[in-house]
Amino acid sequence: MTRVVLDSSPLVAFLKAEPGAERFMLQANKALISTVNLAEVITKAVEFDLGLSIVEDTLSTYDIEVVPFDEDGALAAGLLRPLTRHLGLSLGDRACLALAQAQGLPVLTADRAWAGLDLGVEVQLLRD
């Protein structure tokens, strides 16, 4: 299976045992996630009283690589704004897409709006 870049939504779906969790488990091994998206996951884990250890355990179980959001990522995410403004994509969304572009990998998300993007990134939807 091809490596993927994770948006926060697949990891949150897994942590909350929501639909799509199975797809996450199939594709999460050795996936990548931006520190921006990891912050979103941690925020949701705290909001839902899941605890930080479940996030840490999931990252280690699936050997998910956490990629720092650096100056190059900031530049790429910023440059995506005009191309994604019509969909209202957040900084986290653009950080995920910028990482996928930089790595030449598909992105896994639950956000259906991404499917219509033409950014040279394959978008895989968590839920059909």
pLDDT tier for residue 2 given thresholds of 50, 70 and 90:
confident
> CA-CA distance, 126 to 128, in Å (whole number)?
7
Residue 1 binned pLDDT confidence (cut-offs 50, 70, 90): low
Cα separations in angstroms, 29 against 5, 59, 97, 118: 11, 9, 19, 26
**pTM of the entire predicted model:** 0.93
Measured torsion, CA atoms of residues 42, 1, 95, 45, in degrees rounded to the nearest 10: -10
Which CATH number characterizes residue 114's domain? 3.40.50.1010
Range of the domain at 100: 5-125
Number of domains in the chain: 1
Cβ count near 55 (within 10 Å) = 19
* CB 107 within 8 Å of CB 122: yes
Q: What is the pLDDT of residues 37-71, one digit of tens each?
A: 999 999 999 999 999 999 999 999 999 999 999 99
Share of the chain above pLDDT 90, in %: 91
